[in-house]
């Protein structure tokens, strides 16, 4: 009999989410920001998969309803890949243009 | 000892340990053999005698090399990144070693018959990429850095056509499980996927006498050259992914000293070496699994069945024999190629991948999908290779698959 | 899936494919390689240019054509940029030896892929339209149901719904096929195809495309994709998504010549003004979604018909309708937001034809038609009023414009006002009909103007004249002898837009006017009367200014004979679209009898007014006791008890229109048509007297700075100035003045008071001065600084700070409402 | 002596590991805790390390731990996808991005100021506390039972069928998204092409 339940997974996810948010808020390097975002996305994915694993409604679900969480996480992963590609391309362009990827220094649009 | 372990972990972990330890031993032995083979074959091809001093005919030369390596001082460059430099070789080795979890050595020996086995191998091989990158970067040396970047670019590029070819086989097999794919190829070499798989040739009455062919199934014969090509592509992609000649640009000694492992010495260098050989074997084992029938013998029955022995042990041993023999032959070809072909240029490398292999891979997947949809015989998969061909129906005993059961 | 839907999807995706092909394979240049420079013009290797090159080499000390320019050269080019601003439609670029004739050839041949794709789309669209229109449809369903539609659930929030909200929330994606969508498919793909064809010649020279020939085609493909998405979407979310995509592609195309400041300004303006409308549209969507839980149009209508009114109150429903219509106000350049469309003419002329005349701006009308069943009586009155206001304002401005494209631009705004007016008065099919006919003749007019401008440009280019404006009608005149095909096609389109019988505009416009008349008859309110009068007034004004344009451009004596000499007819690939569109501007594609507007098959069979699903109390004409005619066959009744309550509206208006038509001789022009013919005829006559007659005054007038009413009209009723005064200048300045007053009187007063008392007290005791007063002042400063510091942290422009606020907001909201 | 603290540290670690192994909880729980520790530990390292390279490489372990957690949750396909795409794709992208935008000497970020650190700490701890309290505060979640698809543990075929069935439109849409993202990324990132003359000059 295992003691691990849904809240355990949610806790891990919460901690990862908080770490990601901390990274996003405190870092100045654009690549580091992206890493923080990936952590946040991973946390969300853990939640998706965890909720698809545990039955919180109390009624039996069909297979396809059960898989909704996993499907969502797969699409999140796919879109994360898109996001990373585009973001890195933008970062490279910024580097070419400004010779830095420090987000505080790339502020030409600020008044 | 056994009881102690059971007490300690609260569960019988001995099978796990065995399953984990066997590939490790295998890698060590294989590396010794492969190094020896490389030395001797290069000598043969260059009309030399090769190592002759250590042991009879120099058979102990690899052992001597290893001992020499172990004795050397482990040097870490002053400006190298301290932790990453240490971790990198192990990461590379872990990536190669993890793949052994799903390599089906015989009908009864596979560490974990995952239902995403093929996918899993492709995934864990990306850890190797990171490890190589880490090694190249952490050494803080321009040659290692270039080697690392080249290696990563090359491995990632060649993963794509390789993946397409694998996808074609997976589509035909309808499963991602390694054992599942092998089990479909039983009953003779014409059922191997290198010849188009169980549904291509076997459905033709002029070969097997069975008549489950659908109208127009002669189109299936077109699969044979296609899958031969696919095998070739996979094998070449495998060469590129292991950074072997003619794709050894990351280690090109004339340009980059020794690529990403320039700064490594002693045991860490040995571990890189080991990982490279393990990787070679993994690539060849996958090729054998996907295209060459895995542990099946080339003839309809296992030899031990012709001899009358039908026990699990004999079948398992013969499966092991066939699997390792096939893999060794492929490894041998890799070694021969190393001493035969010159190195490619970078642009040739990329041209080959993106402009030749990738379109061919696309076409392959589309043709196979069309074939599955329109041509392949509809009967359920159980009737695949012809009913009376006596493939051994193998069911692994539970102890060999400790992770499979909950 | 139904074949029509499948083909619709194919039609949708093909232009996107064209977009990708052009982007990936096309040869692109970076902006740095191209510098605006009309004077130091290296030989583009046009044949005729080479002759005069010798004469100019001495003046310009120009380096060899293919030598790369140095950095100093680039700087001087930037100075010339300002000089070339007034040079209206064209960018003359200088290349650094990269865009070779081989590149040109490659880009040119590559563009045919996109054109071919549009041809395929057109063929498929025709097939889809044939299949759809020939399908009788399901008579048991309410008539706002499309012939076929398919949806898939994207998100289902059923499990998240709490006890306070009963219904489920879903987000679906889906497409539909009905007659309106099918006709729009044909219109969009047809115009897009012709514009692709036209552009292949129009944009051919490097001086026109600035090295971005394929990017132009890519953007055209992107636009077509987005527009088709709006057409076939069956839910508000997808319409909204493609709505924004259309906005984006319009932005890209308006600013295609982004080297010059004017297009940069114009595309920003278009984008920002559209956002204002889109906020309204989004709010409308959200009102419906929060209350109904679905965005699929048929479901929304079903729920409304079943009595699920937003917040249970009719004013909210009216508000939702008006807010959704706000999107149309922005996109179709209706009255308060009509300022962007004329500026959008900064884009290349084919773009103006495709986007800003024929398709995108009609998307607002299309949206209004899609949401038509949920408009209450008040909302429709609002729509009609907006349409009428737009029509009269734009038409009056068009009377005095001197720029060829500006006349057409204001005419477009005015005609869009007509369409919106038609929807507002309930003449649904007339509005859609006018949308289609207008797309044809206005695209013809724009492409024709493009043809004229192209030749003008060539001529000016040949003369090395960079001061005169190729779009100004004051430089034209007498062109019909030089460009007969362009003249004839534009004349046909002009007759069509003026509403002359035998042309398409007559049929659609008169139907609108009849609708307005019927509206006025049924509910004789002030607004209805005004709408009716404005409708007829604008008809006359349209005829006047369009013929003024024809007379000034094509008739009379050439006003600049040096330009005139070098003008000749354009090549076939440019005039062929004109001919096609001119043929489509005749009456024959739309109805058999050219004199009977109501009898065309478009109106009688293809597009039906959808039933209104609003509650009976707020339906149009709810208060008007107009008897329902017995002969009107009540078809397509919706199920449920609402059927009786919903029937009257469209039958009332159709009956009244029928009644108006039947007063004349059967099958021939009726009373509204006769009146409109009279008005249009007098407009044409006036234009002829003022501008067309040999020796007419208008022909010789060289306009100086306009005064009086003409200045008022020429400056667009000072609407732009007003907005500029109100929003950026007025409000901000007012705020600044208030703050300055506060600063000078309050803060300065305090400081001065403190200062003087300090002086006083300093004489008494220095210690007090040192410790107390200085302390006070420092405290004040410190507090201000601290406050400033705190307030500045709130908006840093860094996304990370905003993340902090978002998270804190979530936490606070959670604990506040747990 | 520097040896003593090292030995002590090793002993402590060994004791902790031994104690953990000997703990009387099911193997599933132990594995969960191991993966959780990997996740959280390397996630924290990603965020707290000031060396970008260390962060990037420890992101590998974070992804790996998350993949392990997916597998523990019975989502083996998602787990392997995570490994393949995140480790093989996204992480490599990050590494290239890091590599191409900074050299090895500039990889250390300067110490974050209090003005950055404080909101980060507050926000992160607040959201962490909030999420954890929610996770443990819903009784239905604490009692939630494991559900397994009726087709056994083979999620691959289920996912395959759903992708081609219920989620077909999304599948196609995401593939279009990938296409657009790739084209866009290539468009954005590719450097200006050289003209033949310039190229010759540079040679």
What ranges do the domains of chain B cover? 72-405
Strand partners, C93: C36
D84, B130: Cβ pair inside 8 Å? no
Q: Is B261:B270 a contact under the CB 8 Å cutoff?
A: no
D169, C152: Cβ pair inside 8 Å? yes
Q: Is C148:C176 a contact under the CB 8 Å cutoff?
A: yes
Q: Rounded to the nearest 10 degrees, how much is the dihedral formed by the CA atoms of C731, C732, C737, C742?
A: 100
D84 contacts chain B (CB < 8 A): yes
For B161-177, how does the pLDDT look when each residue is reduced to its tens digit (9 = 90+)? 998 999 888 888 888 88
Which one of A5, A74, A86 has the shortest CB-CB distance to D144?
A5
Identify the band that residue B217 occupies on the pLDDT scale cut at 50, 70 and 90. Answer: low
Which pLDDT score is estimated for C29? 57
Instruction: Compute how many other C-beta atoms are within 10 angstroms of the C-beta atom of residue B339.
Output: 14
Instruction: Give the chain D residue nearest B88 (alpha carbons).
Output: D57
What is the distance in angstroms between the Cα of A82 and the nearest Cα belonging to chain D? 6
DSSP at C611: P
Sign of CA dihedral B245, B248, B251, B253: positive
Which one of C159, C797, C798 has the shortest CB-CB distance to A57?
C159
Of the listed ranges A70-79, B309-318, C147-156, the least confidently predicted one is B309-318
Of the listed ranges B352-356, C195-199, C414-418, the least confidently predicted one is B352-356
Which pLDDT score is estimated for B218? 67
Provide the whole-model pTM: 0.54
B49 contacts chain D (CB < 8 A): no
For the ranges C678-687, C754-763, C793-802, the maximum mean pLDDT occurs at C678-687
Instruction: Compute how many other C-beta atoms are within 10 angstroms of the C-beta atom of residue B41.
Output: 16
Stronger pLDDT, C416 or C723, i.e. the higher one: C416
Instruction: Give the chain C residue nearest D191 (alpha carbons).
Output: C30
CA distance B392 to B383: 14
Number of inter-chain CB pairs under 8 A, A vs D? 261
- Chain B residues near residue D108 by CB distance under 8 angstroms: none
What is the distance in angstroms between the Cα of A66 and the nearest Cα belonging to chain C? 13
C173, D176: Cβ pair inside 8 Å? no
Number of inter-chain CB pairs under 8 A, C vs D? 45
DSSP at C66: T
Strand partners, C403: C472
C173, D126: Cβ pair inside 8 Å? no
Which pLDDT score is estimated for C782? 92
Lookup: tokens for B371:
């074939």
CA distance B107 to B80: 46
- DSSP string for residues in B245-288: TTS-GGG-HHHHTTGGGTT--HHHHHHHHHHHHHHHHHHHHHHH
Instruction: Compute how many other C-beta atoms are within 10 angstroms of the C-beta atom of residue B40.
Output: 19
Q: In which residue are the tokens 């043969």 written?
A: B44
For C252-284, how does the pLDDT look when each residue is reduced to its tens digit (9 = 90+)? 999 998 888 889 889 889 998 999 899 999 999
Of the listed ranges B38-47, B216-225, C664-673, the least confidently predicted one is C664-673
Outline where chain D has alpha helix (H).
3-22, 27-48, 52-72, 76-81, 92-101, 114-137, 139-142, 155-164, 168-189, 196-202
pLDDT at C676 over 50: yes
Chain A meets chain D (3+ C-beta pairs below 8 A): yes
Instruction: Say which residues have a Cβ less than 8 Å from residue B146's Cβ, sequence separation at least 6.
Output: B136, B256, B259
- Chain A residues near residue D102 by CB distance under 8 angstroms: 101
**Residues, chain D:** 203
For C545-557, how does the pLDDT look when each residue is reduced to its tens digit (9 = 90+)? 999 999 888 888 8
- Chain D residues near residue A31 by CB distance under 8 angstroms: 52, 56, 94, 97-98, 101
3-state secondary structure of C173: strand
Lookup: tokens for C72:
């100093």
For B100-118, how does the pLDDT look when each residue is reduced to its tens digit (9 = 90+)? 888 888 887 777 777 888 8
CA distance A69 to A96: 40
Exposure string of D11-34, with b = 16+ CB inside 10 Å and e = fewer, is eeeeeeeeeeeeeeeeeebbebee
CATH code where residue A19 lies: 1.10.287.3510
Of the listed ranges B334-343, B353-362, C702-711, C712-721, the least confidently predicted one is C702-711
B11 contacts chain D (CB < 8 A): yes
Q: Considering its fold, how many domains does chain A have in total?
A: 1
D57, B8: Cβ pair inside 8 Å? no
Instruction: Give the chain B residue nearest D76 (alpha carbons).
Output: B116
CA distance A37 to C137: 50
Stronger pLDDT, C773 or A77, i.e. the higher one: A77
Identify the band that residue B259 occupies on the pLDDT scale cut at 50, 70 and 90. Answer: confident
Q: In which residue are the tokens 């995140």 written?
A: D86
Instruction: Look up the ipTM and state it.
Output: 0.73
What mean pLDDT, rounded, does chain C reach? 81
For the ranges C143-157, C439-453, D28-42, the maximum mean pLDDT occurs at C439-453
D120 contacts chain B (CB < 8 A): no
Stronger pLDDT, C116 or C695, i.e. the higher one: C116
Which one of D36, D100, D125 has the shortest CB-CB distance to A18?
D125
Q: Is C507:C437 a contact under the CB 8 Å cutoff?
A: yes
Which one of B10, B81, B152 has the shortest CB-CB distance to D24?
B10
CA distance D179 to C791: 43
The angle that helices B266-291 and B14-45 make with each other, rounded to 10 degrees, is 90
Q: In which residue are the tokens 């583009």 written?
A: C44
**Residues, chain A:** 111
- CB neighbour class for C617 (10 Å; exposed up to 12, middle 13-18, buried from 19): exposed
Which pLDDT score is estimated for B116? 84
Stronger pLDDT, C600 or C495, i.e. the higher one: C495
3-state secondary structure of B78: coil
- Chain D residues near residue B152 by CB distance under 8 angstroms: 92, 95-96
CA distance D192 to C33: 10
For D24-79, how does the pLDDT look when each residue is reduced to its tens digit (9 = 90+)? 777 788 888 889 999 999 999 888 888 888 888 889 889 989 999 998 888 888 98
Which pLDDT score is estimated for C596? 67
CA distance C359 to C189: 10
Averaged pLDDT for residues B134-141 = 84
Outline where C26-100 has alpha helix (H).
47-60, 71-83
Lookup: tokens for C662:
């039947």
What is the distance in angstroms between the Cα of A25 and the nearest Cα belonging to chain C? 5
Instruction: Give the chain C residue nearest A24 (alpha carbons).
Output: C800
- Chain A residues near residue C800 by CB distance under 8 angstroms: 24-26, 33, 103
Identify the band that residue C82 occupies on the pLDDT scale cut at 50, 70 and 90. Answer: very low
pLDDT at C580 over 90: yes
Strand partners, C503: C586
Which pLDDT score is estimated for C163? 45
pLDDT at C212 over 70: yes
Q: Cα–chain-centroid distance for residue C569?
A: 30
Nearest residue to B365 (alpha-carbon basis) of B226, B240, B235: B226
| Cis amide prior to B246 (ω within 30 degrees) | yes
What is the distance in angstroms between the Cα of A4 and the nearest Cα belonging to chain C? 24
Chain C meets chain B (3+ C-beta pairs below 8 A): no
What is the distance in angstroms between the Cα of C151 and the nearest Cα belonging to chain D? 10
C68, D130: Cβ pair inside 8 Å? no
Chain B meets chain A (3+ C-beta pairs below 8 A): no
3-state secondary structure of A58: coil
Which pLDDT score is estimated for C486? 92
Of the listed ranges A52-66, C90-104, C400-414, D60-74, the least confidently predicted one is C90-104
D88, B126: Cβ pair inside 8 Å? yes
pLDDT at B404 over 50: no
Which pLDDT score is estimated for C213? 87
pLDDT at C420 over 80: yes
Q: Is C416:C365 a contact under the CB 8 Å cutoff?
A: yes
Q: Report the percent of chain B where pLDDT is more than 70.
A: 84
Q: In which residue are the tokens 């929003």 written?
A: C727
Which pLDDT score is estimated for B406? 34
CA distance B196 to B198: 7
The H-or-E segment that residue B10 falls in is none
Which pLDDT score is estimated for C70? 40
Q: Is A52:A70 a contact under the CB 8 Å cutoff?
A: yes
What is the distance in angstroms between the Cα of A99 and the nearest Cα belonging to chain C? 18
Nearest residue to D72 (alpha-carbon basis) of D45, D42, D34, D40: D34
Quick check: is A107 in a domain? Answer: no
CA distance D50 to D55: 8
Q: Is A36:A22 a contact under the CB 8 Å cutoff?
A: yes
Residues of the domain holding A17: 6-98
CA distance C568 to C28: 32
DSSP at C144: T
A79, D177: Cβ pair inside 8 Å? yes
3-state secondary structure of C197: helix
Which pLDDT score is estimated for C407? 92
Of the listed ranges A63-67, B384-388, C506-510, D134-138, the least confidently predicted one is B384-388
Which one of C159, C797, C803 has the shortest CB-CB distance to A25?
C803
Nearest residue to B143 (alpha-carbon basis) of B28, B56, B258, B314: B258
Nearest residue to C1 (alpha-carbon basis) of C214, C175, C180, C189: C175
CA distance C130 to C123: 11
B17 contacts chain D (CB < 8 A): no
Q: What is the pLDDT along chain A (111 residues), one digit of tens a residue?
A: 567 888 889 999 999 999 999 988 888 888 888 889 999 999 999 999 998 888 888 788 888 888 888 899 999 999 999 999 888 888 888 888 787 777 777 777 665
Which one of C30, C98, C154 has the shortest CB-CB distance to D170?
C154
Which one of B119, B129, B137 has the shortest CB-CB distance to D53?
B137
Q: Cα–chain-centroid distance for residue C499?
A: 22
Lookup: tokens for C608:
């039906």
CA distance D146 to A72: 19
pLDDT at C165 over 70: no
Sign of CA dihedral D130, D136, D139, D141: positive
């Amino acid at each position: 009999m295992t003691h691990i339940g849904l809240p355990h997974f949610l806790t891990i996810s919460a901690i990862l989410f908080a770490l990601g948010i901390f990274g996003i808020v405190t870092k100045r390097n654009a690549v580091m920001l992206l890493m923080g975002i990936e952590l946040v996305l991973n946390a969300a994915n853990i939640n998706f998969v965890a909720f698809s694993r545990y039955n919180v409604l109390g009624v039996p679900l069909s297979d396809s309803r059960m898989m909704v969480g996993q499907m969502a996480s797969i699409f999140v992963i796919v879109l994360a890949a898109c996001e990373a590609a585009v973001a890195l391309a933008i970062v490279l362009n910024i580097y070419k243009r400004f010779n830095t990827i420090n987000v505080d220094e790339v502020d030409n649009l600020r008044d | 000892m056994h009881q102690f372990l059971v007490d300690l972990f609260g569960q019988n972990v001995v099978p796990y340990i065995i399953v984990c330890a066997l590939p490790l031993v295998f890698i060590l032995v294989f590396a010794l053999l492969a190094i020896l083979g490389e030395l001797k074959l290069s000598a043969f091809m260059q009309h030399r005698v090769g190592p002759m001093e250590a042991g009879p005919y120099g058979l102990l030369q690899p052992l001597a090399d290893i001992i020499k390596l172990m004795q050397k001082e482990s040097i870490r460059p002053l400006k190298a990144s301290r932790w990453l430099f240490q971790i990198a070789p192990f990461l590379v080795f872990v990536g190669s070693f993890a793949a052994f979890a799903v390599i089906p050595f015989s009908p009864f020996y596979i560490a974990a018959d995952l239902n995403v086995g093929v996918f899993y191998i492709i995934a864990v091989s990306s850890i190797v990429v990171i490890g190589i990158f880490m090694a190249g970067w952490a050494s803080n040396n321009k040659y290692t850095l270039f080697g690392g970047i080249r290696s990563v670019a090359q491995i990632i590029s060649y993963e794509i056509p390789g993946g397409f070819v694998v996808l074609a086989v997976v589509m035909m097999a309808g499963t991602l499980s390694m054992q599942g794919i092998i089990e479909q190829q039983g009953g003779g070499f014409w059922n191997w996927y290198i010849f188009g798989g169980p549904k291509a040739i076997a459905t033709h009455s002029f070969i097997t006498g069975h008549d489950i062919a659908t109208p127009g199934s002669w189109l299936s014969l077109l699969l044979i050259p296609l899958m031969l090509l696919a095998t070739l592509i996979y094998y070449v992609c495998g060469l590129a992914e292991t950074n072997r000649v003619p794709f050894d640009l990351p280690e090109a000694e004339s340009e980059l000293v020794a690529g990403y492992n320039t700064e490594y010495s002693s045991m860490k260098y040995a571990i890189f070496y080991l990982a490279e050989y393990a990787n070679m074997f993994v690539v060849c084992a996958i090729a054998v699994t996907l295209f060459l029938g895995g542990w099946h013998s080339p003839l309809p029955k296992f030899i031990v069945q012709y001899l009358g022995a039908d026990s699990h042990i004999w079948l398992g041993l013969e499966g092991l024999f066939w699997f390792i023999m096939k893999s060794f032959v492929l490894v041998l070809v890799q070694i021969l190629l190393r001493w035969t072909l010159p190195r490619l240029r970078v642009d040739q490398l990329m041209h080959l991948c993106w402009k030749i292999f990738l379109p061919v891979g696309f076409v392959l997947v589309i043709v196979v999908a069309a074939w599955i949809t329109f041509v392949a015989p509809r009967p359920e998969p159980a009737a695949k290779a012809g009913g009376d061909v006596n493939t051994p129906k193998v069911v692994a005993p539970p102890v060999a698959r400790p992770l499979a059961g909950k | 899936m139904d074949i029509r839907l499948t083909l619709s999807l194919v039609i949708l995706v093909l232009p996107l494919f064209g977009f990708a092909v052009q982007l990936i394979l096309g040869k692109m240049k970076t902006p740095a390689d191209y510098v605006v420079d009309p004077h130091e013009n290296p030989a583009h290797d046009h044949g005729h240019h080479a002759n005069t090159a010798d004469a100019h080499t001495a003046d310009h000390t120009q380096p060899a054509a293919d030598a790369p320019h140095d950095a100093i050269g680039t700087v001087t080019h930037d100075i010339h940029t300002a000089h070339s601003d007034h040079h209206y439609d064209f960018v003359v670029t200088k290349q650094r030896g990269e865009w070779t004739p081989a590149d040109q050839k490659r880009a040119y041949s590559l563009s045919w892929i996109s054109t071919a794709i549009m041809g395929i789309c057109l063929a498929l669209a025709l097939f889809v339209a044939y299949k759809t229109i020939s399908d009788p449809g399901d008579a048991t369903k309410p008539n706002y149901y499309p012939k076929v539609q398919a949806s898939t659930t994207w998100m289902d929030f059923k499990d998240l719904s709490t006890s306070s909200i009963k219904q489920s929330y879903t987000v679906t994606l889906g497409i539909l096929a009905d007659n309106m969508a099918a006709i729009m498919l044909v219109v969009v793909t047809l115009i897009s195809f012709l514009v692709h064809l036209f552009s292949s010649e129009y944009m051919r020279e490097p001086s026109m495309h600035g090295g971005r020939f394929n990017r132009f085609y890519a953007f055209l493909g992107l636009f077509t994709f987005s527009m088709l998405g709006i057409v076939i979407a069956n839910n508000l979310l997808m319409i909204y998504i493609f709505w924004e995509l259309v906005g984006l592609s319009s932005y890209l195309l308006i600013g295609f010549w982004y080297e010059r400041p004017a297009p940069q300004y114009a595309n920003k303006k278009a984008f920002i003004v559209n956002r204002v409308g889109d906020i309204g549209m989004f709010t409308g969507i959200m009102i419906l979604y929060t209350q109904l839980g679905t965005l699929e149009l048929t479901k929304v209508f079903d729920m409304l018909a079943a009595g699920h009114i937003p917040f249970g109150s009719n004013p909210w429903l009216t508000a939702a309708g008006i807010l959704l219509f706000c999107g149309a106000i922005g996109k179709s350049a209706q009255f308060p937001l009509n300022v962007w469309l004329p500026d959008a003419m900064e884009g290349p002329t084919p773009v103006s034809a495709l986007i800003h005349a024929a398709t995108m701006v009609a998307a607002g009308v299309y949206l209004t038609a899609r949401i038509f069943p949920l408009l209450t009586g008040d909302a429709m009155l609002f729509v009609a009023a907006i349409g009428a206001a737009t029509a009269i304002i734009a038409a009056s401005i068009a009377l005095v414009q001197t720029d060829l494209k500006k006349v057409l631009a204001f005419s477009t705004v005015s005609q869009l006002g007509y369409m919106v007016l038609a929807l507002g008065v309930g003449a649904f099919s007339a509005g859609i009909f006018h949308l289609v006919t207008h797309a044809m003749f206005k695209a013809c007019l724009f492409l024709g103007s493009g043809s004229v401008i192209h030749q003008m440009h060539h001529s000016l280019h040949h003369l090395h004249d960079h001061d005169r404006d190729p779009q100004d009608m004051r430089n034209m005149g007498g062109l019909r002898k030089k460009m007969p095909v362009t003249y004839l096609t534009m004349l046909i389109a002009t007759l069509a837009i003026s509403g002359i019988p035998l042309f398409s505009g007559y049929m659609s416009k008169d139907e609108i006017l009849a609708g307005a008349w019927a509206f006025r008859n049924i509910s004789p309110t002030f607004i209805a009367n005004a709408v009716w009068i404005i409708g007829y007034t604008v008809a006359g004004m349209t005829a006047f200014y369009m013929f003024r344009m024809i007379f000034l451009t094509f008739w009379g004596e050439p006003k600049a004979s040096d330009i005139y000499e070098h003008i000749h007819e354009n090549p076939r690939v440019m005039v062929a679209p004109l001919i096609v569109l001119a043929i489509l501007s005749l009456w024959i594609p739309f109805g058999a009898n050219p004199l009977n507007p109501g009898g065309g098959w478009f109106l009688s069979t293809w597009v039906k007014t959808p039933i209104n699903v609003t509650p009976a109390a707020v339906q149009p004409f709810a208060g008007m006791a107009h008897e329902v005619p017995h002969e009107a066959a009540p078809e397509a009744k919706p199920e449920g008890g609402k059927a009786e309550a919903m029937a009257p509206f469209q039958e009332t208006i159709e009956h009244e229109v029928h009644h108006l038509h039947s007063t004349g001789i059967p099958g021939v022009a009726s009373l509204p048509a006769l009146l409109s013919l009279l008005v249009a005829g007098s407009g044409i006559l006036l234009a002829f007297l003022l501008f067309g007659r040999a020796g007419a005054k208008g022909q010789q007038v060289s306009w100086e700075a306009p005064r009086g009413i003409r200045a008022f009209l020429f400056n667009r009723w000072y609407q732009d100035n007003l907005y500029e005064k109100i929003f950026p200048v007025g409000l901000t300045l007012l705020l600044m003045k208030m703050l300055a007053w506060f600063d000078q009187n309050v803060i300065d007063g305090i400081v001065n008071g403190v200062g003087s008392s300090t002086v006083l007290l300093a004489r008494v005791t220095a210690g007090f001065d040192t410790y107390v007063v200085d302390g006070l002042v420092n405290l004040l400063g410190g507090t201000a600084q601290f406050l400033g510091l705190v307030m500045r942290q709130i908006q840093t422009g860094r996304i990370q700070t905003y993340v902090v606020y978002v998270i804190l907001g979530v936490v606070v909201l959670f604990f506040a409402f747990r | 002596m520097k040896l003593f603290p090292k030995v002590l540290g090793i002993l402590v670690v060994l004791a902790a590991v031994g104690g953990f192994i000997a703990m009387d909880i099911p193997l599933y729980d132990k594995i969960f805790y191991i993966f959780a520790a990997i996740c959280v530990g390397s996630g924290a390292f990603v965020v707290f390390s000031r060396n970008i390279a260390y962060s990037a490489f420890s992101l590998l372990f974070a992804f790996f731990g998350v993949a392990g957690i997916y597998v523990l949750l019975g989502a083996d396909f998602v787990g392997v996808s995570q490994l393949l795409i995140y480790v093989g794709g996204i992480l490599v992208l990050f590494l290239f991005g890091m590599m191409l935008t900074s050299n090895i000497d500039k990889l250390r970020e300067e110490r974050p100021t209090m003005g950055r650190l404080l909101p980060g700490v507050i926000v992160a701890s607040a959201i962490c506390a909030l999420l954890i309290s929610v996770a443990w505060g819903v009784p239905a979640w604490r009692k939630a039972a494991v559900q397994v698809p009726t087709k056994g543990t083979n999620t691959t075929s289920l996912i395959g069928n759903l992708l081609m069935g219920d989620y077909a439109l999304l599948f196609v849409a995401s593939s279009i998204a990938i296409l657009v993202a790739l084209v866009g990324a290539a468009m954005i990132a590719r450097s200006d092409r050289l003209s033949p003359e310039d190229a010759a000059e540079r040679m």
